[in-house]
Amino acid sequence: MFKIAVIPGDGIGKEVMEATINVLDALNLDFEYTYGDAGDECLEKTGTALPKETLDLIKNSDACLFGAAGETAADVIVKIRQEMKMFANLRPVKSYPNTNSLFKDVDFMIVRENTEGMYIADEEKETEEGAIARRIITRKAEERIIRYAFEYAKANNRKKVTAVHKANVLKKTDGLFKEIFYEVAEEYPDIESEDFYVDATAMYLITNPQSFEVIVTTNLFGDILSDEGAGLVGSLGLIPSANIGEEGALFEPVHGSAPDIAGEKKANPTAMLLSAVMMLRHLNLTDEADKLDAAILKVLDEGKYLTGDLGGSSNTFEMAEAIKNNL
């Protein structure tokens, strides 16, 4: 039996979560779901966007499914990542059939460092005249994420890892990142290694996206490049993510709470469902993960039950139901 923390959050987070739990139910998993609160509505109700009980719930679960938070997203999700030491943020960028993907054969994994960089919230408002933010790069955290990327490549039969940085300008911080990257790369002689500047990478993602297999990068660059990846494959509604740490793991769509369409059942449930697939794999429920993954692909491939963002006319629950029927 696995204990699963379920945090729907705000806006479309609730809809895609409900649809996803519906589908998971059909897999007859030995899951005990416990629901927790976080986000804008929670702030309004309880005075805090991330109550201690919610953090404790995540801590005491085997995995967490997270929907989306609204305006408070940064306070909720960045805090969870840091408190739970979820150091690896995995964001697969993959083109699916019947989507607006610009390319047919894109399939790479972004491995984003999730605990430091510009996300340490170490800022000072000097005077009225200016402010300073600090970007921290430590050997410990970067070595861990780089090794994670190579291990991921090894386990998933990927042939290349690409490090992304701006070491020509950030000579000490990203210089260190690049140095560590090639140190770790030596331990994996069978996997090709290369490095690019973040600006060049932002271009190559468009001009040569098929060349990427695994990208490893620091926190903010991973944030930017994964949204660019979402654009590349046509919709944020298709990109799941995993936040993996020593004390817990959380799975969430890369999209936000989309207040403009919240409650209208228009949201694409795919990213949340693919996040559930990542969770199943994380819990070593490989057969179930494969089954759900195949059902999602089938429904996309058939193109009969698609949400509006994919040019279809099904609602969130109809698309999820179609996936359920294909399990």
Binding site for a second copy (CB under 8 A): 73-74, 78, 100, 102, 118-119, 121, 123-125, 128-140, 166, 168-173, 175-176, 198-200, 202-207, 220, 223-228, 230-232, 234-236
* Piece of the chain touching ligand IPM by CB under 6 A; list 3-11, 20-28, 74-82, 176-184: 74-82
Catalytic residue flag (residue 197): no
Q: Is 119 a catalytic residue?
A: yes
37 labelled catalytic: no
Q: Is residue 244 within 8 Å of residue 112, measured between CB atoms?
A: no
Q: Is 227 noted as a catalytic residue in this protein?
A: yes
Q: State the minimum distance, in angstroms, from the CB of residue 254 to ligand IPM.
A: 6
State the nearest-atom distance from the C-beta of 165 to a second copy, in Å: 12
- Per the annotation, the verdict on 30 as an active-site residue is no
71-84 CB burial, b ≥16 within 10 A, e <16: ebbebbbbbbbbeb
CB of 210 to a second copy, least distance (A): 14
Please name every residue paired with 160 in a beta bridge, in sequence order, or none if there are none.
192
Distances (CA, A) of 225 to 167, 179, 229, 232, 279: 17, 21, 6, 10, 22
Regarding 199 and contact with ligand IPM (CB under 6 A), the answer is yes
Total number of residues that touch ligand IPM (CB under 6 A): 9
**CA 119 – CA 60 distance, rounded (Å):** 25
Among the residue ranges 57-65, 73-81, 135-143, 153-161, the one whose residues contact ligand IPM (CB under 6 A): 73-81
CB distance 146 to 181 below 8 Å: yes
Q: Which amino acid is at 177?
A: F
Instruction: Please name which of 31, 319, 176, 258 lies closest in space to residue 311, comparing C-alpha atoms.
Output: 319
Structure tokens at 64: 């967490």
> Contact between 78 and ligand IPM (CB under 6 A)?
yes
Q: Is 77 in the site for ligand IPM (CB under 6 A)?
A: yes
Which residues are part of the catalytic machinery?
Answer: 119, 166, 199, 223, 227
